[in-house]
Amino acid sequence: MDQGHFARVLAGIAQTLITEYGIADVLYSLCDEVVTLLPVTGAGVMLTGGDQRLVFAASSDAAVAEVEALQEQLDEGPCHTAFHEGAPVLSSDLAIDTRFPTFAPHATAAGVRTAHAFPVQVHDRRIGALSLYAEGVVDLDDEERGAAATLASSAAAFVLNHRALNEAVLLAEQLQRALDSRVIIEQAKGKLGEQLSCTPPEAFEVLRRHSRNNGQRLADVSARVVDGTLLLQFGPHAE
């Protein structure tokens, strides 16, 4: 195995950790690199969906995509075993491998003889599996197995980092919207206080009552008060 190439692939994955590349882009690129680095003809990645079932995520080509989809459909294959057991699953010859009675015949019929899988995980966080395929019988040596395991772990680190970043951005956006709403509500309270000669708590009650009675967001009502498109009244019969 070309160690220089391996180092460049890892460096590329590390670079994505601080960029805005999408998960699909990085995983498809990873599959392409795996094929150039290891003695296999195809590679694919499956990740857990919202229901914790493995679903197809990326592949090096259309043929591999079909085999990955087959594992997803059958809920059987090296990917599933590697994911559930948290350890590599090596199958150098599916034609004689009895562990996958349903998947193996379909895979060999599709021209796949070798199917290895490595869990996509970082420590105890397991989120999928990396598959390696070949048309012939292919045994990986220790160095190649180590490289595959490292690439699978790197993929996990990227995906988890990407998810955490998205969650952080979403939280920041939600907090900013809350702050923006608070500002506009305070502005509306001040304007109503001047217009209706009422106290801030009374102005807030006017805003809240109109919001509740008309099924509108408090921030939206406040914005209309501030820009002058909504005039409210103060009193027990005010809408």
Reported as a single tens digit per residue, the pLDDT across 22-45 is 777 788 888 888 999 999 999 999
Q: Specify the pLDDT at position 50.
A: 64
Q: How far, CA to CA in Å, does 28 sit from each of 35, 46, 125, 140, 183?
A: 11, 11, 21, 22, 44
Whether 115 and 107 have beta carbons less than 8 Å apart is answered as yes
Reported as a single tens digit per residue, the pLDDT across 135-149 is 999 999 999 999 999
Nearest to 88 by CA among 149, 9, 138, 27: 149
Neighbouring C-beta atoms of residue 232, cutoff 10 Å: 19
**Domains identified in the chain and CATH numbers:** 3-164 (3.30.450.40), 169-227 (1.10.10.10)
Reported as a single tens digit per residue, the pLDDT across 63-84 is 999 999 999 999 999 999 999 9
pTM greater than the 0.75 cutoff: no
Q: Predicted confidence band at 175 (pLDDT cuts at 50, 70, 90)?
A: low
- The residue-averaged pLDDT of 152-162 equals 82
